[in-house]
Homo-oligomer: A and B are copies of this chain.
Amino acid sequence: MIELVALDADDTLWHNEPLYTGCREQFRALVAKYGHEAALDDHLYEVELRNLEHFGYGVKGFVLSMIETAIELTNGRLEAGDVRTIIGWGREMLAAPIELVDGVREAVEALARDYPIILVTKGDLLHQETKLARSGLGHLFKGIEIVSEKNPDVYRRIMDRYGVPPGRFVMVGNSLRSDVLPVIDAGGHAVYVPYAISWVHERVSPEALTDVHYHEISHMRELPELLERLHLASQAG
């Protein structure tokens, strides 16, 4: 029944959000030197959202948003040395080694034996390609789709590109907002694999999930069995 399995990357295959969380902590300490601590997280998030349409997702936009936030919160007193420090964090994030989620390598290898799998991720093109190369999983994927946004149209185009009807496409990822809701909207199947932490932007309200039929597993290794069940259900139905 399932002809194509699409996997999200960040926080589905490898740890990503902890890098941002760690960086936000350093950022708080940096800005605190200037005597500004209150509402820093909220302010940074506002700047990130404001910049999203210009800068898109990814580390470079995050760095630019941190610099802007720091300048605003310090009323322009931010020192050049600290700007440099923030840019340095960006370079470190981009160069950080890939840490696969425990058990993911085996799960993806098993999956790739039974299904064509593709990667669907948003973010910076170069950075996502680099991470996939470093992950050592690249050869398992039939295709890599790095997209600027995950919305129903984007998923429809991907289904078209691979010639797969929506009912035979499944997307697997840790974001209800990006990996589940738009896929269901496009007529596909979606599997939610929660990650310990998530960026506030990726969260959805419980109401948004009313009457949305998706699957949930606690680890990627449960995916082959879930797909098998979907297969049997489709034969029975």
Contact = CB atoms under 8 A, between A and B. Distances in A.
Contacts of A54: 90-91, 94-95
Given A54-B95, A125-B146, A80 B71 contact: yes
Interface in A70-126: 71, 74, 76-81, 83-84, 87, 90-91, 94-95, 124-126
Interface string A180-206: 000000000000000000000000000
Nearest to A64: B87
Nearest to A124: B56
Contacts of A64: 60, 63-64, 87, 90
A216 interface: no
A68 interface: yes
Contacts of A67: 67, 83, 87
A21 interface: no
Given A68-B84, A125-B125, 19 more contacts: A51-B91, A54-B91, A54-B94, A55-B94, A56-B125, A60-B64, A64-B90, A67-B83, A67-B87, A76-B79, A76-B80, A78-B80, A78-B83, A79-B80, A80-B80, A83-B83, A125-B147, A125-B148, A126-B148
22 contacts: A54-B90, A54-B94, A54-B95, A56-B125, A56-B127, A60-B60, A60-B61, A64-B64, A67-B67, A71-B80, A71-B84, A76-B80, A76-B84, A77-B80, A79-B80, A83-B83, A125-B125, A125-B146, A125-B147, A125-B148, A126-B148, A126-B149
